[in-house]
Structure 1
Amino acid sequence: MIKTDSRTGRLALAVAHCAGMVDLVALPVWVGTLIAHYAFDPQQAGALVTLFLVGAVLASAVFAPRFHRLRGRPAAALGFGVAAAAFFAASTTTAFNQLAVLHAVAGFSAGTGLSFTHGTIGRSANPHRLFAIVGMALGAFAVLFLGGTPQLVAALGGPVLFIVFGGVMALAAITSTLAFPVPDEESQASQSFRASGQRLPGVIWYGIAAISCMAVAQAMVFSFVERVGVDRGFGTERVTAVLIAIGLVNLFPAAIAALLQRRVDARTVVLAGPAVQGVLALTIAVSSGFEAYALATAVFVVPMLFTHTFAFGLLAKLDVTGRATAATPAMLMIGSAIGPVLGGTLVKAFGYGGLGAAALLIDIVAIVLFARLMPTTRSAEATP
C-alpha cells in the first residue's frame, strides 16, 4: 500500500497535480493558439477554455463530497485517461462545436483526477508542505511547457498543443495507476465530525469564495498576456522569452511557502496576496513599455501560487475530513472558468485597460472575503 509520505506516492501526486492544473501554466499559450492558429476571436477562444474549466468544476462538485467513500487510484487513473483521449481527439479537428464538446469532456475527466489528488493531499500529515511540494513540481513543469510548447506550435501548427496536453494527461493516468497513494488514516476528530452528519463550517465558504475570486483575476489576465505583448508590438521572440521567464519564476513560490510555513502568519499572506495580484494585473494591462510588462508578467502567477499554498493549509486545518481540500479544483476552476470568457468579453468591449481594472476590483473583493475567514482561523488555532 503506497502512502502519501512515500517518494512514489508524492511523485504520483505531483504528476497528477501538474496534469490537473495545466490551465494555470498553459492559459496564454492555449488562448493564443486558438486565436492565432484556429482563427477564433478572443471571446470564442476564452469560451473553449472556459468549457474545460467548467467541466473540472462540475467534476469537483460531484466527487469532493464523496471523497471519503471512493477509492482515489482508479478514479484518478480513469479521469486522466479519458482526458488524454479527449485531447488527442481535439488534435484532429478544427470545428468549434467539436472542440467545445471535447474541451468539456477533458475538463470533467481531469477535474475528477484532480479532486482525488487534492483530497489525498489534504488528508496527509502536513497538507501545507505536501501541497508546496506538488506546487514546486508544477513550477518545473511550467519551465518545460512554456520553454518548448510555443516553439512546437509555431513550427508544427495548433494541433500540437492538444497532443502535448494529451501526453501530459496520459502520463498522469499511468503514474496514478501505478503509484497513486491512499489518504492517511482519518483522525478521531475527522471520524466523529463525519459521523455526526454536520456540514462544513459555514465560514469556510468565505475562504473558498476568496480563492475563486483570485482565480478569476488570474485567468482573466493570464489568458491574454501573450496577446497583450504581441498586440503592443513587443515581438514574438521577446514575448516568448517572457513566457519562459514565467516558468522559471514559478519554480520558487511553493518552495518559499514551504520554508515559511511556521515563520509567516498565514493571515498576512492571504490578505496581501490578492493586493499584489491586483497591482500586477493592472500593470500588465496598461503598461506601454516592454520592461514593465515583462516584469509584471514574469511574476504574475507568484501571488496565486504562494497565497493558495497558505490558504490550502488553513482550509485543511478548519476541515479535518478532507472534503474542503478535495473541492480545491472547484474553488480554483469556477474562478478560472469565468476568467477566460469574461476576459475575452472585456477585451472585445473595452480593450486591455478594462481587463486590468476589472481584475483589480475582483482582488479587492477577495481581500474582503479573506478578512471574514480570519476570526474562525484564530479560533481554530486557539483550540487545544
Structure 2
Amino acid sequence: MHSTPEAGRGRATLMLCHFAGMVDLVALPVWVGTLAQQYGFDLEHAGMIVTAFLLGAVAASLVAAPLYNRLPRAACAFGGYGVAALAFLAAARVADFGTLVPLHLVAGIATGTALSVTHGTIGRSLNPHRLFAMAGTALGIGAVVFYGAVPPVVAAHGGAALFLVFAGLMGAAALACALGFPHVTAAGRIHVGTAPLPRAAWCAILGVACMALNQALTFSMLDRIGVLRGFGQDRVNGVLVVCGLVNLLPAAVAGLLQKRVNPVRVALVAAPLQAALALVVTLSAGFLPYAIAGSVYPAVLIFTHTFLFGLIARLDPSGRALASTPAMMMTGSAIGPALAGSVAMRTGFGGQALLALIVGAAATLCFALVARRAAAQAPVAAPTHH
C-alpha cells in the first residue's frame, strides 16, 4: 500500500529527505571551514570543492524538474540518496583536490535528483505551504544537532568525519525512501501536464535563486570571517550553535502565519533585510554585531522561502516548478562559496559586502515584478483558505 504526503510515514520520509538534500544550507560554513582547516586548501579551492557538489545538484534538478510527472519518483529518491551516501563514503578516504571534486560532483548529481522528486511531491500535497514549513522545521532541528555535534567531532577526528556524517545522513534518507516514498495522485491538486509556467512563477524562482546566492556568499564565509577577525574558533562555533537554535523558529512561524501574511510582501521586506545583515557580518569589527547578524542570517531565507514555496505551488499546480526548488536554492549556493572565496582573497571582505548589496537589489527587483503580476491575478497572490 502506498503512503501519501499527508500520512504520518510519508510526511516523516519527506522531512528526512528534505533535511538530507538541503544539508548544504546547514553545513556550508563547517564544510568550507573543514576543507580549509583540516585539508589545508585556500578559501578559493575549498569553495570550489563545495561548489562541485552544488553544481551537480543544480544540473540534476534542472533535468529532473520538467520530467517530474513522468519519473519513477520512489526509485529516483532511493537511488539518488544511496549513490550520494557511497560518494561521501569514498570522499572520507581521500584528501586531494583532484579526487574530492569529482566525488562531490557525483554526490551532488545524485542528491539533486532525489531532492527534486522530494520537493515536487511536497508541491503536489494538499497544503504545500504547511508541509514545506514542517520540513523546514525538521531542517532547523537537524541544524541544532549538527552544529552542536559535528564541529567538535571534526576537530577531534579530522575532516573525514564530516564526510562520514554526510554519508550517514544520505544513507538514512535512502533507507526511508526504500521503506516507503509517498505516492501522489491528482486528487485534491489540479493536474497540469505541459502548460508553460506563468511569468510570475519565473520571477519568484529567480528571486529565490538571488536570495540563495546571498545566503551562500555570506554564510559560507561566516566561519572564516570570524576566525580571521580574531574572534576565536570556539566563539565562532558558539555562533553556529545559536544560529541552529534560531533556525528552529522561522519555518514553524511561517507555517502559522500562512493565512495572515501576503507572501509577496514578505519577500519584498526579506530581500533588503538579508542584504543588510550580510553587510553587518562582513564589515563588523566587533564580535557582538557579527554574532547577532550571523545568528539570524539564515532564518530570513528559511522564513521567506516557506511563503514563496506556497506561492509558487499556487502559480504552478503541476509540481514542476517546485521540483526545480533544488536548482533555485543551489544555483545561488553553488556560485556562492567559490565566488565568495575568490572575492575575499582579491578584494577582502569589503568586496564581499558590495556583492551582497548588488545581489540583494536583484532579488528585490524580482519580487517587485512578482507583486506587479500578482496584482493582476489577485486571487493567486491572496493567501488561500481551505
- TM-score w.r.t. the length of structure 2 is 0.96
Give the 3 Å change call, closer, same or farther, for CA 166–27 of structure 1 in structure 2: same
- Residue matched to 1:211: 208
What amino acid is aligned across from residue 111 of structure 1 in structure 2? G
- Residue matched to 2:111: 110
- Residue matched to 1:335: 332
8 Å contact from structure 1 (residues 125, 184) kept in 2 = no
Q: Deviations over 1:257-289 (max 9, x none)?
A: 000011111111011111111011000000011
Q: Which segment drifts farther, 48-57 or 65-74? A: 65-74
8 Å contact from structure 1 (residues 314, 377) kept in 2 = no
8 Å contact from structure 2 (residues 125, 189) kept in 1 = no
* 1:363 equivalent in alignment to 2:360: yes
Consecutive unaligned residues in structure 2, runs of 5 or more: none
8 Å contact from structure 2 (residues 119, 325) kept in 1 = yes
Partners of 1:47 and 1:380 lie apart in 2 by 42
8 Å contact from structure 1 (residues 88, 162) kept in 2 = yes
- Residue matched to 1:9: 10
* 1:131 equivalent in alignment to 2:128: no
What amino acid is aligned across from residue 75 of structure 1 in structure 2? C
Give the 3 Å change call, closer, same or farther, for CA 223–66 of structure 1 in structure 2: same
Q: Where does 1:126-275 land on structure 2 (aligned, <5 Å)?
A: 126-185=127-186, 189-190=190-191, 193-194=192-193, 197-275=194-272
8 Å contact from structure 1 (residues 317, 380) kept in 2 = no
User: Per the alignment, in what secondary structure is the counterpart of residue 186 of structure 2?
Assistant: coil
8 Å contact from structure 1 (residues 318, 380) kept in 2 = no
Partners of 2:62 and 2:269 lie apart in 1 by 28
User: Per the alignment, in what secondary structure is the counterpart of residue 301 of structure 1?
Assistant: helix
1:316 to 289, 313, 316: 313
Partners of 1:307 and 1:202 lie apart in 2 by 20
Deviation at 1:236, TM superposition (A): 1.5
Deviation at 1:381, TM superposition (A): 4.0
Partners of 1:332 and 1:381 lie apart in 2 by 27
Deviation at 1:380, TM superposition (A): 3.9
Deviation at 1:201, TM superposition (A): 1.5
User: Per the alignment, in what secondary structure is the counterpart of residue 351 of structure 1?
Assistant: helix
Deviation at 1:294, TM superposition (A): 0.5
What amino acid is aligned across from residue 233 of structure 1 in structure 2? G
8 Å contact from structure 2 (residues 126, 188) kept in 1 = no
Partners of 1:289 and 1:309 lie apart in 2 by 32
What amino acid is aligned across from residue 224 of structure 2 in structure 1? R
- Residue matched to 1:30: 31
Partners of 1:4 and 1:31 lie apart in 2 by 34
- Residue matched to 1:92: 93
* 1:284 equivalent in alignment to 2:288: no
User: Per the alignment, in what secondary structure is the counterpart of residue 369 of structure 1?
Assistant: helix
Q: Deviations over 1:102-129 (max 9, x none)?
A: 0000000011110000000000111000
Deviation at 1:187, TM superposition (A): 5.6
- Residue matched to 1:296: 293
Deviation at 1:360, TM superposition (A): 1.7
Give the 3 Å change call, closer, same or farther, for CA 69–354 of structure 1 in structure 2: same
Partners of 2:271 and 2:167 lie apart in 1 by 32
* 1:119 equivalent in alignment to 2:116: no
Q: Deviations over 1:324-374 (max 9, x none)?
A: 000000111111111011100110111112112211210111000111112
8 Å contact from structure 1 (residues 207, 369) kept in 2 = yes
Partners of 1:133 and 1:188 lie apart in 2 by 19
Partners of 2:234 and 2:16 lie apart in 1 by 30
Consecutive unaligned residues in structure 1, runs of 5 or more: none
Partners of 1:300 and 1:189 lie apart in 2 by 36
Give the 3 Å change call, closer, same or farther, for CA 266–188 of structure 1 in structure 2: closer
Partners of 2:277 and 2:225 lie apart in 1 by 14
Give the 3 Å change call, closer, same or farther, for CA 227–188 of structure 1 in structure 2: closer
Partners of 2:199 and 2:284 lie apart in 1 by 41
Deviation at 1:188, TM superposition (A): 7.5
- Tell me how many residue pairs correspond in the alignment: 380
Root-mean-square deviation (Å): 1.3
8 Å contact from structure 2 (residues 124, 189) kept in 1 = no
8 Å contact from structure 1 (residues 4, 184) kept in 2 = no
User: Per the alignment, in what secondary structure is the counterpart of residue 94 of structure 1?
Assistant: coil
